[in-house]
Chains A and B, each alone.
Chain A
């Protein structure tokens, strides 16, 4: 049951997007989000959205996957849309009903905001769908390394992320087992008021935490046995290299960013 939950799902593949260096993809995502927020008129929106659609097409990932991921966020998007629709005032009144005024500017703004959110979320999905979690962790570690100089424990953070990702399925499996064990002893998770149901979770959480701590202890010993001494003097089997493809991608995104800024500034 719980095994079906996926976090940061990755679809292996061999498209151009898949082959980009994970650092490139991370940087490009940030640049793309910047472009999205700069865009403010019809043409610049069309340009940024069109770019995303092309990228998704190149990645050969089923659009189905994006719809599935968007589903839980529909409420948020509707909420943003409605807020903008009702609370933006303008000059052209479209609907006047009781105390509700809907202006043309509000409608346009609502649509733009929804599209902006949509593109933001889909672009992030494109990154996680085409990059394995371990590559992402490596990329983050490598990009944040300069911050190590001011005392940020970059390697430790990356290690924690890597271990957390590794143990999510294991702990989910364990939760399933504990739920079954407590059900077998007559625990009831399905009936009763909300408070009763929350209370029923305690017998699941307590053994889960105890087991997680025990696992952590054993894992720490096992890591020590394998000579783990933190990030210092550590090498990597897979080293990240920027390839011509990455420089090309940087170039394309620089163009996109420049075009968006031009379109916005000159209000074309």
Chain B
């Protein structure tokens, strides 16, 4: 399968001010994201998550190594616009990425920049808004929407550009639980139904648990990667990085320390409860 994003030996240093040395973020990072994948990137503050995200659509350029996006080298100037057509980016604060004061005008902003004929823009805007369930709000003013709705408008704005890959940089950090669910469900559906590659940068373990693959970053290095079940079973490692496993895994791990031997791959409440039930009833028999 073709790689949507391929990072080889990435080095990046934020330039220092005047005589102070710069801050090195990456020192030889390798990462590969396949087309149609859903990758969650986890990591504590300062682990380089957002910096990595900004390399995926050439907002930041590597100081060393290469980043290929859909087969295009981000370091080449002429690839800039083609890359940004392929990779849409959603940021943390929904207020600061909405440009126009009518929802549909904002969604149209991307395609308008690409110089697409007006009739086609109309179609793209309508289908993108329907895709994120915001069609009924197309004539609303963005500042009157809830956080989750604004973030879905931002996603629609990206979808209208018909990207192959969407990078979301902590899209739910400023949202309430309802808004978080709305956004995550939208992203999951896009990945499942339309095969759009999703790279989700997040602090929330329960969101990462829904991904196909999890990458844990620490000080610019990959500390762990694999399926959510594989990664979250390494509870000790996650704790040492200042992270936590999903609550269900934490529970099983805590019980194990009390002498149980529960599996650490139960990511939803139902299967976790079943495992605990099995363990208890097994103990009663013996």
Contact = CB atoms under 8 A, between A and B. Distances in A.
B171 to A, nearest CB: 12
Interface of A: 132-134, 162-163, 165-166, 169-170, 173, 215, 218-219, 221-229, 233-239
B106 to A, nearest CB: 8
Contacts of B110: 226-227
B102 A228 contact: no
Given A166-B142, A218-B91, A224-B59, A234 B125 contact: no
- Please tell me the size bucket of the interface on B: 35 or more
A173 B142 CA distance: 13
A166 B98 CA distance: 8
Contact of A235 (B102, B104, B112, B125): B112
Given A225-B84, A225-B88, A227-B81, A235 B97 contact: no
A237 B122 contact: yes
B152 to A, nearest CB: 15
Given A224-B84, A226-B88, A237-B122, 17 more contacts: A134-B101, A162-B99, A162-B100, A162-B101, A166-B98, A166-B142, A169-B141, A221-B59, A227-B81, A227-B85, A229-B81, A229-B113, A234-B112, A234-B113, A235-B121, A237-B111, A238-B105
A228 to B, nearest CB: 5
Given A170-B95, A226-B84, A236 B112 contact: yes
Interface string B106-127: 0011111111111001100100
Q: Is the interface of A mostly helix, strand, loop or mixed?
A: helix
Q: Nearest 10 pairs between A and B by C-beta?
A: A222-B97, A218-B96, A237-B108, A226-B110, A166-B101, A237-B121, A225-B89, A169-B143, A227-B113, A233-B115
A235 B115 contact: yes
B99 A163 contact: yes
